[in-house]
Structure formats: C-alpha cells, structure tokens
Amino acid sequence: MRVDTTRSGLRALLAACALPAVLVATSCGQPSFDGEAAMALIEKQCAFGPRNPGSPGHEAMLGWLVETVGEQTPHVSVQRFTVEGPGGTFELTNVIASFRPTERNRVLLCAHWDTRAVADRDPDPARRGTPIPGANDGGSGVAVLLELARLMAERPPALGVDLVFFDGEDGGDGGGLGDWCVGSSYYASRIGEYAPGFAVVIDMIGDADLEIPREPNSMRSAPSVVERVWGAARAAGATSFTDREGPGMYDDHVPLLRAGIPAIVVIDPHYRYWHTVEDTPDKCSPQSLDEVGATLLELVYRPS
C-alpha cells in the first residue's frame, strides 16, 4: 500500500461503480467474532519472521495459510505466478477460499499476506534495509479473514463469500518487486465472468489506536459499498469507523476497481509504525480486530 499522491489521475481512471441489486439473506444466525483468537493469529504469522517474497518466512507462511484455510473449506485454490523485479525473480501466490460456492450472490473479502522487504520509514536509518515484522501491515487483515473463515465453516453465511489473500502487495518503491499490489493486479486480470456484488479490502486494521476514515478513491468509485460497510460498522458498534475523509490510498482495491468490481479499502492510514521494524504484535489490539471482524460479520450474515 502507498498513499495516493495522484488522486486527480485516478479520477479519470476509476469509473463510478454502482452496487448491484439487493443481496438475499438466507442465514440461520450470526456468530460472534473473537478478537483474542484473531490476535493469536497475528502472533502466529509473526513467528514465521518477515514474510517478504523470497524469504524463508514467506515460504513457511504460504504452507500454513493454505493448510489453515483448507481446514475450514474444501474450496481452496491458489494462483501461482512469477514476478521479475529490481530485487530479482520471485514466485508469488494468491490464495482463494470460498464458502457457499454455488451461491450466485457473492461478496469478496481480501487482505494481503506478504510483508515489506525494507523498513524504509523507520526512524533509524541503519534499520531501513531490514524487512518489517508486519504484525499490522499484512498480519492483521489475514488474521481477521482467517477467524471469519473459522466462523463461516461452523455456520454458513447468508451470502456466498470468497476470501482472497493477495501476495506481493507491499513490494513497490524499493520493496523488491518494482510495483505495488502485484497479486491483486494478477487476480483482477484473470477474474473472467466472476462478478461479486462488492469487494472489501482490509489492511492495517489491528493497531491499538484504530481510526478508519473513509478513503477517497473508495468514496468516489464505490460510494454505495462505503455506505453499506459503514452502516454495518454502526450496527456492530464499531466506533473506529469515522465519517471523516482520509488520504487517498493505492491499495488492493484499485486493481479490483479497474476490473469493474465495486471495491473499497478499510484501512487506518495513520499507523505510527507503518513500514518500520516496530510493526510488532504488541502494537495491535484484540478490540480493534474485533470491531473490524464484527463489521464484516454484519455484511455477510445480515446483508441489507
């Protein structure tokens, strides 16, 4: 993810997306999100070490991720692809897990599982070439989706839900891959006729001082999705979702928007430890994870 400094250019690029017809609910009840369980999943990811492409932690994380989602649904697939970047040649993998795969009304929920190869924003210049631990930047979104997967396996959601864990999100601007959002760009270029009602990308949503403003590219290109998600947050009592406008972000929602999917990003853009070696689990909070997880549960169990 990077802060979008070319918002006027994106206005021309991203056409306004209209939300399709109302989705039909068939749920038999909504489970409760467990922020403590999600917190443990952040710690598990960080135990692998940095998960930047080409690292031992990246390989170990991939095996664990595929195994973990495979315990919750048999409908798991992977997209493997190769990227040539300034840092070398990298093997990347998107992981896709589906629930209620025959249901036509579908929602796409996404996070990135890779971490950044360089701590380029660290206050100590000597540490800026060090890979980040990625507890919040990468780990928090994955943790929330994995806990959702466990809940959906126990109690089927009201909609068809596809979880996508993107690789190669954090490799731009000296991060080795040459560009940002490589995995979501690859995924978006191969969606074919797949047309979910909307998509929500979650990124950096676990920090203890969580505040999630409305992201401008999301508001401009998928305003109905923003309203739907913020409405779900109100229903869930998630006070970290604010009505103020934050900075424009280039994140995994942008390639999805380009592919015609109404997509938004849910992100705290003011995380103090972004792209530093201090992005560790102690900076994250079960309460923050619980607010985002509960909001997503509202979306998939009580769709309007």
- For the segment 184-206, what is each residue's pLDDT rounded down to a tens digit? 999 999 999 999 999 999 999 99
Residue pointed to by tokens 């070319």: 6
Q: What is the pLDDT of residue 303?
A: 81
Task: Report pLDDT for 1.
Answer: 66
Q: How many residues does the chain have?
A: 304
Q: Which of 181, 224, 219, 198 is nearest to 296 (CA)?
A: 198
Q: Given this model, what pLDDT does residue 2 score?
A: 65
Structure token digits, residue 135? 């507890």
- The number of folded domains in the chain is 1
Task: Answer whether residue 15 shows pLDDT above 70.
Answer: no
The set of residues, in sequence order, having a beta carbon less than 8 Å from that of 275 and lying 6+ positions away, is 116, 118, 119, 120, 121, 122, 132, 137
Res. 81: pLDDT tops 90? yes
Say if residue 20's pLDDT is above 70.
no
pTM: 0.91
* Radius of gyration, CA atoms only, the chain: 17
- Please check the confidence at residue 28 and state whether its pLDDT lies above 90: no
Confidence class for position 24, pLDDT limits 50, 70, 90 = very low
What mean pLDDT comes out for the span 118-133? 98
Residue 104 predicted with pLDDT over 80: yes
Q: Both tokens of residue 43?
A: 């710690």
| 8 confidence band (pLDDT: 50, 70, 90) | very low
What's the rounded Cα separation, in Å, for the pair 16 and 188? 17
Q: What percent of the chain has pLDDT over 90?
A: 89
The pLDDT of residue 87 is 93
Please report the pLDDT score of residue 3 as a whole number.
58
Angle between helices 139-154 and 35-47 (to 10 degrees): 130
Both tokens assigned to 175: 């991060």
Which residue is associated with the tokens 């676990």?
Answer: 206
Residue 127 pLDDT greater than 70, yes or no: yes
Question: Whole domain around residue 144: which residue ranges?
Answer: 2-301
CATH code for the domain of 190 = 3.40.630.10
Contact 57, 44 (CB under 8 A): no
Average pLDDT, the chain: 92
Which residue is it, tokens 């795969």? 101
